[in-house]
Amino acid sequence: MEKRQGYREAIKRICIRCGYTPIDPWQREKILYRATEPNWWTKVPPKDFIKRDLEDIEKCDVLIAYLPKLSAGTCMELFYAKMKGKQTICICKLKNPSPWITAHSDIIIKKISELEEALEKIGEKKV
C-alpha cells in the first residue's frame, strides 16, 4: 500500500467539499523520509512516527480510516481516536472485519464514493 497512495487525494477532495480541513500524515512523512528512496520505511524511527500520528488524531474532529486490507497501524489509530472521543468513519473492504474495527467505527462504508454521505451524517450529529 505504501506505493499506492492515490486514495488519499480522493478522500482529501471529499473532506474539503464537506467543509473539513484534512490532516494527511503521508504528506509529512513522505517528505521527512523521502519516500522515493529504496527501503525508506526501514529508516523511520517508530516512536517518532507514532507520536506524530497520535498528535494528528488529537487535532482532528473525525478520523477516516482506510482499510482495503488489514493494517495494524490503522486499527491502532482507529482505537486511539475513539478513546479520545473522536468521530470515526472506516472505509473497510474486509469481508468480516474484526469486532475491534466495528466497535471503534461510528460509520463503516465499503467505498470512498460513500464518504461524502458518511461525513454529512457525522455533521448532522454535531448540530
Task: Give the mean pLDDT of 58-77.
Answer: 94
pLDDT tens digits, residue range 68-115?
999 998 999 999 999 999 999 999 999 999 999 999 999 999 999 999
pLDDT at 1 over 50: no
CA distance 51 to 90: 21
pLDDT in tens, 6-18: 788 899 999 999 9
What is the tens place of the pLDDT at every residue in 40-49?
667 777 788 7
- Fold of the 6-126 domain: Rossmann fold (3.40.50)
Judge whether residue 65 has pLDDT over 70. Answer: yes
